[in-house]
Structure 1
């Protein structure tokens, strides 16, 4: 069980590293000066590769978490686990939102300001903080 927990933590941390950096690339894309096609294309390539890699990390993180929850009953029937599962759903939603934003940016549609992306970039910090506090403190 400790191996499953350890690998779950490694994949979650790796997944979040991607979720921390991907919106930062969006900030840079929003700041590209008009006409700088090479810079824009380079940033889009980086964002696409990072999204693909981050998505590959999310799979094992979620599967190992499911294994811990179902296979070992960790947190089953406890309020903190229900709250953590809500946070997990929010993280999945954030990941999906990043993918949708990247598609829109790639097509040149609905480009938001760099300030908006800076605020958007803070969301995973609070999601990770919520998940960690729920798991460690088990407040209810």
Structure 2
């Protein structure tokens, strides 16, 4: 497979993954605002399905990203400081992804510990990280 196909698939799966982890905390906002148990139960289903839908995209993003690094080679990897910074930010996104799972599990047992405002802030957090990742990958200033 050509490196351009690997790169295209990496970017595609990253976009699909980001769409999901931008939307899941938004569902948490609405879930935290309701007192209606039947609505809560519906949110639980939506949240669980969304998390399980986007998680394979997270793993495919990782697989194609590692494949890209392998394709470019060790010498390239060693001198690509921008990539080292990007990888640290990517690790933070994976931590965020699995933190969302922890929150999902709390909602699943009606043990939400946060306000809707908390989830609004949480919803915006990965936007800046994604901006930094995209800038690093495109501009490669380091």
> Which of 86, 89, 92 is 1:90 aligned to?
92
> Which of 128, 133, 136 is 2:135 aligned to?
133
Q: Answer yes or no: is 1:124 the counterpart of 2:116.
A: no
SS state at 2:44 partner: helix
Match of 1:22 in 2: 24
Match of 1:70 in 2: 70
Q: Distance in 2 between matches of 1:123 and 1:137?
A: 22
Q: Which moved more, 1:65-74 or 1:77-86?
A: 65-74
The runs of at least 4 aligned residues of structure 1 exceeding 4 Å deviation read none
TM-score (norm 1): 0.94
Q: How much has 1:13 moved relative to structure 2? A: 0.3
The answer to whether the 8 Å contact 1:30/1:113 transfers is yes
Match of 2:15 in 1: 13
Q: Distance in 1 between matches of 2:94 and 2:48?
A: 17
Q: How much has 1:104 moved relative to structure 2? A: 1.1
SS state at 1:84 partner: helix
Q: How many residues align?
A: 138
Q: How much has 1:15 moved relative to structure 2? A: 0.2
TM-score (norm 2): 0.93
The answer to whether the 8 Å contact 1:30/1:111 transfers is no
